[in-house]
Amino acid sequence: MARITLDRVSRVYAGGALGVQDISLDVADGEFLVLLGPSGCGKSTTLRLIAGLEEVTSGRISIGDRDVTDLRPRDRNLAVVFQSYALYPTMTVRANIGFGLRMRGMPASEIAARVDQAAALLGLTPYLDRKPAVLSGGQRQRVALGRAIVREPEAFLLDEPLSNLDAQLRAEMRAELVRLHRSLGRTIVHVTHDQVEAMTMGDRICILRAGRIEQVGAPLEVYASPANMFVARFLASPPMNFLPARLEAGAAPALVLAPGVAWPVPPAHAEAWGRAAGRPVMLGLRPEDFHLEPAPGRIACALAVTAVEALGPETIVTGDLVAVPGLASLKARLGRGQVPRPGESLTLHADLTAAHLFDPATEAVIPRPSVPQPVRSA
């Protein structure tokens, strides 16, 4: 069993720099967990603490039933793969993958069997007798993974293993790692600052900020119900738009964005949002919550378009809400073929049923019942 548990783990570096603070996290046996966050938030520190490459300042770490807090890295039976991996340039792929096993004195026949099996899994069989220099970046990264796989560790700890690869290779390796996880069935903790990796690879995402956990959950769960503005901003690109407003109570509660600009609160959210009545709030609308088409419950608003990014499958439009002067620019995501021009005034329809409200002081969400995500039509 390779369930990994961190119980109130902190790491303070010499000189007082905070690595992570009070992290409690339970990674299930066989789970693919993604640690996500901006640079410096403590992702590598968390991974290195699990691996034993860093000592905890306080807290306990266990793997399966064993408390490993005081065990050396080699006694934890985990494999770590870093962004920059060093292959031995004079050795073949076969020798590189089997190197660690040879050092441990494993019999040659056993090494050969494990190397062949890992190579087959990684599509490296045709390259076993080549040297790293003639391999592509993706193939070299696979050799580094192969070295980890042959050790048959209880869990894999991957620290931004794809960030040195170009965009297309990264996409291929994302799919490959997911496939590998399925065939190996081992626990993986994967560190990244890339939201696409987080959304597409993990069973769950753990979002870190400044050494602390902000939210843990399944990717679509976190996307649909961000716990706070940081998570809402960080998890998608372009990020959620935030519009300062005041929630006015009454028979027909409304979000007042400016004098005379009152957007009716959807009846389904009225009760949950009611506790913020009379207070300033931050209205969060994702770019995909603005539509060209009107529909019941959508609020029409004019956008003065300032920039248009036509990506093909979608168009990202930047602009200013005409009725609310002084508001930061908004971004809306339109469908294929919907390409307005800069300078144009565009009528958008905001879907408030998908909106989130946040407390501007704490940045925490003001909870509401979850709304089923609309299924995108073709």
Ligand X SMILES: Nc1ncnc2c1ncn2[C@@H]1O[C@H](COP(=O)(O)OP(=O)(O)O)[C@@H](O)[C@H]1O
Q: Which residues bind ligand X (CB under 6 A)?
A: 13, 17, 19, 37, 39-45
- Min separation Cβ 312 and Mg ion, Å: 33
Closer to ligand X by Cβ: residue 45 or 215: 45
Cα separation, 26 vs 11, whole angstroms: 18
Closer to ligand X by Cβ: residue 39 or 370: 39
Stretch that binds Mg ion, among 40-48, 55-63, 284-292, 295-303 (CB under 5 A): 40-48
- Min separation Cβ 210 and Mg ion, Å: 14
Residue with tokens 């220099």: 133
- Judged by CB under 5 A, the chain residues 275 through 314 that form the site for Mg ion are none
List of residues 6+ apart from 341 with CB closer than 8 A: 305, 308
Closer to Mg ion by Cβ: residue 36 or 265: 36
- Min separation Cβ 208 and ligand X, Å: 7
Stretch that binds Mg ion, among 18-26, 38-46, 276-284, 355-363 (CB under 5 A): 38-46
**Residue 13 binds which entry of Mg ion, ligand X, none, with Cβ cut-offs from 5 to 8 Å by kind?**
ligand X
34: its two tokens? 């993604």
**Residue 19 binds which entry of Mg ion, ligand X, none, with Cβ cut-offs from 5 to 8 Å by kind?**
ligand X
- Min separation Cβ 12 and ligand X, Å: 9
Closer to ligand X by Cβ: residue 24 or 373: 24
Q: Work out which of 10, 21, 44, 215 binds Mg ion, going by CB under 5 A.
A: 44
SS (H, E, C) 135-170: CCHHHHHHHHHHHHHCCCCCEEEEECCCCCCCHHHH
Number of C-beta neighbours around residue 308 at 10 A: 18
**Residue 59 binds which entry of Mg ion, ligand X, none, with Cβ cut-offs from 5 to 8 Å by kind?**
none
DSSP 53: S
Q: What angle do CA 299, 255, 305 make, to 5 degrees?
A: 50
Phi-psi region of 344 (alpha: psi -120 to 50; beta: other; left: phi over 0): beta
DSSP 257: E
- Min separation Cβ 17 and Mg ion, Å: 14
- Min separation Cβ 35 and ligand X, Å: 8
Cα separation, 25 vs 115, whole angstroms: 33
Closer to ligand X by Cβ: residue 118 or 207: 207
What are the backbone dihedrals phi and psi of residue 356, each rounded to the nearest 5 degrees, phi first? -120, 150
Contact track, Mg ion, 2-21, x by CB under 5 A? --------------------
Closer to ligand X by Cβ: residue 141 or 192: 192
- Min separation Cβ 44 and Mg ion, Å: 3
SS3 state at 232: helix
**DSSP β-bridge partners for residue 159:** 82, 191
Nearest partner of 16 among 211, 206, 213, judged by Cα: 211
Closer to ligand X by Cβ: residue 41 or 257: 41
Cα separation, 288 vs 348, whole angstroms: 11
- In single-letter form, the type of residue at position 230 comes to F
H-helix or E-strand spanning residue 35: strand 32-36
- Min separation Cβ 48 and ligand X, Å: 7
Closer to Mg ion by Cβ: residue 159 or 176: 159
> Is residue 192 within the footprint of Mg ion (CB under 5 A)?
no
Strands 155-159 and 78-82: parallel
**Residue 40 binds which entry of Mg ion, ligand X, none, with Cβ cut-offs from 5 to 8 Å by kind?**
ligand X
Q: What is the contact surface with Mg ion in residues (CB under 5 A)? A: 44
